[in-house]
Chain A
Amino acid sequence: AQKITQTQPGMFVQEKEAVTLDCTYDTSDPSYGLFWYKQPSSGEMIFLIYQGSYDQQNATEGRYSLNFQKARKSANLVISASQLGDSAMYFCAMREGDTSGTYKYIFGTGTRLKVLA
């Protein structure tokens, strides 16, 4: 079963509008972390935002915010006031621990966002 699910292979958004990229996850670890990365066409994975499973408030970083709904196991990324430079692949990732006490990263398949002028 997929541990990280991104159901939107591609999204379009008009410049200056907000867009939500979906991510659902599955884990039995009570202490986990959720990440969003941006990958422009240049290939580099750029860290955007982090949400810990015990964080009470939704994470925000500039125009990025994470809509964390723990009971639904969703961690959607909201980008406000989209810019042309936001066009890229976006990956949701989860860090979870295992029984040996170590952590592993698991990535989703990504959502390609295209911002339209």
Chain B
Amino acid sequence: ETGVTQTPRHLVMGMTNKKSLKCEQHLGHNAMYWYKQSAKKPLELMFVYNFKEQTENNSVPSRFSPECPNSSHLFLHLHTLQPEDSALYLCASSQDWGTPDTQYFGPGTRLTVL
């Protein structure tokens, strides 16, 4: 299986919808990350989970709600999003957080908010 998988790959939603993005890693890593990639902007780190505990929240609006039930799975729950939230959402994992480990990324979910 590929290292980090994300579903769905594409998502179109209205501003009043509720949806969830899923990330799964098969690498035995302990840390997982959500990034937002907007056009012509650097990747923005949103959330970090280490051993299922949230260790970082980079001032992300509350309409984004992460969930990490175990070290292999990470969700991003979306509700009442805005059109400016349209972006590529990338999940990544690494052996541990806060250590000099390489991050491995999933294929991303392309989100369009109408």
Contacts and interface: CB of A to CB of B under 8 A. Distances in A.
Interface string A1-15: 000100000000000
B100 A45 contact: no
Given A42-B107, A43-B88, A44-B105, A102 B42 contact: no
Given A44-B105, A44-B108, A45-B90, A33 B41 contact: no
Interface of B: 9, 40-43, 45, 88, 90, 92, 97-100, 102-108, 110
Given A43-B88, A103-B99, A109 B41 contact: yes
A106 interface: yes
Nearest to A106: B42
A113 to B, nearest CB: 16
A108 B42 contact: yes
Most A CB within 10 A of own CB, among B42, B103, B108, B110? B42
Contacts of B99: 103
Contacts of A45: 90, 92, 105, 108
A105 B97 CA distance: 11
Given A106-B42, A107-B43, A109-B40, A50 B102 contact: yes
Q: Which 8 residue pairs across A and B have the least CB separation, nearest first?
A: A45-B105, A102-B98, A43-B108, A44-B107, A107-B43, A107-B42, A43-B107, A109-B42
B105 to A, nearest CB: 4
A112 to B, nearest CB: 11
B42 A37 contact: no
A71 to B, nearest CB: 22
